[in-house]
Structure 1
Amino acid sequence: MMKARPGEDITLQCSNSTDTAVTVLEWSRPELEHYVFFFRDNELMERYQHPRYRGRVELKDPQMKNGDASVLLKNVSINDTGTYQCEVITHSNNRRKRDVRKFVHSIHLSVSEGPEKEINDEQPGSPRGNDGLGVGLGVVCLIVVGVVGVAVVAGLVLKSQRAQLNRPLEIELMLN
């Protein structure tokens, strides 16, 4: 499962391990009639693409080297949450036989307003990389405030008890 926040650009990973040319690449969502991305014979076929995805999806590597059929989905929104299916069809024209292979891969994307994100999705050097330090400092400050609070309360209690112990002695001295 991948997690993202609205407005982010994310990569939907799909790798076909064969070195043959990709003839057809289909990225789809089961609940939609049209494709998220449809690529055939080295051309993006926008007329088959769902309107919500037009202009927001492109190949991560236009040459699809090493079978990389991943796509970049730009400016995600909460409506993009769902299961994406990558289907790759390859043909190799060998002298002996024509080889047709089909590869299918699914990914679930969750887009939400919350700050959570998969740890392995963090980009190196991103500003969110210091979250652990901020949380650690917050915890230390909370502990210090708690210890000081307990010390103040304990001091007040002791002072109050001493005052009560000295009072009967003062009253007794006044009576004599």
Structure 2
Amino acid sequence: MAAFLFLLFLLSEAASDLIMLSVHPGEDAILPCRAADVPIRAVEWTRPNLEPPQYVLFYRDGHLDTTHLHPSYKGRVQLLDRHLKDGDVSLILKNVRRHDRGTYECRVASVGFTRTKRAILDSEPIRTIQLQITDSNSGQSKDENSTPVGLYIGLGVFFALLFLT
């Protein structure tokens, strides 16, 4: 089964940079993201469809910056590894709610990053995740565009990250 999930992960990576992830309301979600193995100075998680401020998480110089964090995420987000070991900048979203459904983007800046004020990093996202919230009773998503394959891709990414570290 693990080999199948890993293969599914590899195929999904080849086909698209978009990862589909499904969770139930009230659960914690891990949104996987891995940067190149270089010293990281800043990590930015955003939701492009949120009204400004759109930050889900902004981490700079070893500290979370909650100044411009969207109010619905305060106290519910953290990095999986605050030390950013091996470039792991995965996001933990606690107590997922229905309004958390949407697109999440992960960006990083290396040590050469010199901006001192809050701004979207001038780079393409290194990971884009489509988070789906499933109905606890039926296991089916309330969003008619979702597919169960997203769950397998998300699990594949999670297990692949575990096996690769």
Normalised TM-score (structure 2)? 0.63
Query: Which residue is equivalent to 2:128?
Result: 106
Distance 2:43 2:61 in 1: 9
Q: What is the deviation of 1:112?
A: 2.3
RMSD: 2.5
Q: Is 1:15 the equivalent of 2:37?
A: no
Question: Which structure has more RCO (C-alpha within 8 Å, separation ≥ 6)?
Answer: 2
How far does the alpha carbon of each residue in 1:32-79 deviate from its partner, in whole angstroms, 9 at most, with x for none? 212000111111001111010010000101101000000100010110
Q: CA deviation at 1:80?
A: 0.5
Structure number, greater radius of gyration: 1
Report the equivalent of 2:15: none
Could you tell me how far apart the structure 1 residues matched to 2:99 and 2:30 are? 16
Partner of 2:4: none
The two structures have a TM-score, normalised by structure 1, of 0.59
Compared CA separation, residues 89 and 102, structure 1 to 2 (3 A) = farther
Offset, 1:108: 0.5
Q: Distance in 1 between matches of 2:124 and 2:83?
A: 18
Q: In 1, are the aligned partners of 2:49 and 2:103 still within 8 Å (CA)?
A: no
Deviations 1:102-140 (A, max 9, x none): 56221100012141562463999xxxxxxxxxxxxxxxx
The aligned runs of 1:21-170 (5 Å cut-off) are 21-32=39-50, 33-34=52-53, 35-91=55-111, 104=125, 105-113=127-135, 114-116=138-140, 118-119=151-152, 121=155
Residue correspondences, number: 116
% of aligned pairs identical? 36
SS at match of 1:46: coil
User: In proportion to residue count, which structure has more helix?
Assistant: 1
The answer for unaligned runs of 5 or more in structure 1 is 94-100, 125-176
2: CA distance, partners of 1:89 / 1:102 = 8
